[in-house]
Amino acid sequence: MTTAPAWWRSAVVYQIYPRSFCDRSGDGVGDLAGILEHLDHLVWLGVDALWLSPVYPSPMADFGYDITDYCDVDPLFGSLSDMDALISAAHDAGLSVVLDWVPNHTSDRHPWFVSSRSSRSSPRRDWYIWRDPSPSGGPPNNWRAAFAGVSGTEFPPAWTYDQASGQWYLHLFLSEQPDLNWSNPAVQSAMTATLRFWLERGVDGFRMDVIHAIAKDPDLPDLPPERSPIPMCAWIDDPACHPLVSLIRSAVKDANPDAVVIGEIVLPSVAQVASYYGRPAEPELDLAFNFHPLHARWDAAVWRRQIDLAVSEIAPVGWPAWALGNHDNPRQRTRYGSEARARAAAVLLLTQMGTPFLYAGEELGLADAAVAPERLVDPGGRDGCRAPIPWTPAAGHGWAGEPWLPWPPQASSGRDVESMRSTPGSTLDLYRRLLAARRASPALSLGSFAWLPSGRAAEPVLAYRRERDGDERVVAVNFSESPATLDLPGGSWAVEVSTHPRRASAVPNPLELRGDEAVVLRPGR
């Protein structure tokens, strides 16, 4: 008997950054009511699940990734009952709900840390990572924290001195985000209890923030000098992390075997990312983010290599996860330099073998907002990609209050959901057609991957075939601004989706692709 594939394999997950999605309360910060109001957009677009960046109570030093209570909702976003209503409305609409979960660190105002720092003899002292000063009186080692601050240039030490108790505490991110000590079983049980809390409320899984960082070598050795200027969170990959991820997975699956366990892994090699799928005897993540493609240049050879690595390193051990945008990185259009390339990137993202994650606003072809220096708020320099989503053409764009960040470019000249919905050929229309094509095709959603044989070595076109149970699709992406030719496999083909608005459905062989064009082809008659 064959079992049906897990739901998240064929899903497209839509990432909502709640602060920037839609404000209903009038304070200029997006909220749960705003998300509820626009669930119909997700259904119309054709995604399967939504992932909410953190909405927990937080002093917002890192805009929600600094949590003071893992089992509540910040009043800025709404209440627990708003969350219950959102989960139930999403389920009624056929959407799964994935919550962000931040296991590596809490806020420094979390009651656990307030107790931990209160004295060396606090029962919670060992819930965080405290060390004596180095022999010279400085931080215990040379690790650097992420984020240089709004106007900073250099990464600060990953340690902050606590005058009252005469020790330093570790924080791989801001000093307001002390790292939990996951080697302490009390931390393990307190944190896994928070997962059960949300599973009992009906969520369908978690995206686990920097999960590769939660275990530390108890000796806390210095990084070699050539690595030490880079924040430690980009290197840390302690073997003790794997049993912890496995334990976290079990906590989730024991409560709901269908819930998905997604991990953010930010490490130098794809092989390291792959290792977080675990082993058959001790599985870990269901999906591990691989950010190497996100950081890859817009170049066919570079992309070929990235896809090869996903196929050779990840596919043998697990189902790949693909993300080309999120709240931490410039948007596709800004990174790749044009909307035409961002459209081709939409085809790449939604036709890979694996589960795609689509960052809200990419479907509008948004570019990053230009944020004036006096309006910069993020210590990690990520304000541009967090600009608010424009819903309507009129000033205010469907937000109740003046948004916390400036609007993205062109918000007042047609780049809003309402206008783009009624514009055939818009980027929003393209995403919708791609998502429909993917949903209707077992080959695109769950099928195997193989390159089409390519004649020339310096080919600017990447072309591949997806196949499942007799269903097949060919995808071709022209990475060049100039036209390019592609020899198609035998048989006849028809265009299912093209990024070019005026592409006819009939396909001559060889196929002439326009500059920056990407197509999905289905077998023709």
Catalytic residue ranges = 209, 264
| Least spacing, CB of residue 102 vs ligand NOJ, in Å | 6
Nearest to 48 by CA among 103, 102, 5: 5
Nearest to 37 by CA among 25, 47, 55: 25
Nearest to 170 by CA among 108, 229, 111: 108
Instruction: For residue 432, give both structure tokens.
Output: 């919708």
| Least spacing, CB of residue 106 vs ligand NOJ, in Å | 10
Query: What residues numbered 37-66 form the site for ligand NOJ, per CB under 6 A?
Result: 62, 65
| Least spacing, CB of residue 513 vs ligand NOJ, in Å | 35
User: What is the residue whose two structure tokens read 């977080």?
Assistant: 276
By rule CB under 6 A, what string of x and - marks binding of each residue 170-199 to ligand NOJ? Answer: ---x--------------------------
Half-sphere exposure of 224 (CA within 13 A, CB side): 3
* b (16+ CB within 10 A) / e for 216-234: beeeeeebeeeebeebbbb
Q: Looking at 328, 362, 416, 496, which residue binds ligand NOJ (CB under 6 A)?
A: 328
Give backbone dihedrals phi and psi of 508, rounded to 5 degrees, phi first. Answer: -75, 155
| Least spacing, CB of residue 109 vs ligand NOJ, in Å | 15
Q: Looking at 86, 210, 270, 521, which residue binds ligand NOJ (CB under 6 A)?
A: 210
Query: What residues numbered 336-395 form the site for ligand NOJ, per CB under 6 A?
Result: 380
- Rounded CA separation 102/98 (Å): 13
Q: Looking at 176, 179, 209, 286, which residue binds ligand NOJ (CB under 6 A)?
A: 209
Query: What residues numbered 284-323 form the site for ligand NOJ, per CB under 6 A?
Result: none
- Rounded CA separation 227/220 (Å): 15
Query: What residues numbered 434-493 form the site for ligand NOJ, per CB under 6 A?
Result: none
User: What is the residue whose two structure tokens read 């459905």?
Assistant: 505
Nearest to 371 by CA among 333, 404, 332: 404
Instruction: For residue 270, give both structure tokens.
Output: 């794809």
The count of residues in the chain is 525
By rule CB under 6 A, what string of x and - marks binding of each residue 133-152 to ligand NOJ? Answer: --------------------
Which residue lies nearest ligand NOJ, judged by its C-beta? 65
* Nearer Cβ to ligand NOJ (64/460): 64
Instruction: For residue 175, give both structure tokens.
Output: 């000093």
By rule CB under 6 A, what string of x and - marks binding of each residue 250-289 to ligand NOJ? Answer: --------------x-------------------------
Nearest to 334 by CA among 375, 379, 366, 361: 366
How many C-beta neighbours within 10 Å does residue 401 have?
14
* Nearer Cβ to ligand NOJ (204/264): 264
Q: Looking at 47, 61, 86, 102, which residue binds ligand NOJ (CB under 6 A)?
A: 102
| Least spacing, CB of residue 293 vs ligand NOJ, in Å | 17
| Least spacing, CB of residue 57 vs ligand NOJ, in Å | 15
Give backbone dihedrals phi and psi of 521, rounded to 5 degrees, phi first. Answer: -115, 140
The count of chain residues that interact with ligand NOJ, using the rule CB under 6 A, is 10
* Nearer Cβ to ligand NOJ (41/327): 327
Phi-psi region of 400 (alpha: psi -120 to 50; beta: other; left: phi over 0): alpha
Question: By the criterion CB under 6 A, which residues form the site for ligand NOJ?
Answer: 62, 65, 102, 173, 209-210, 264, 327-328, 380
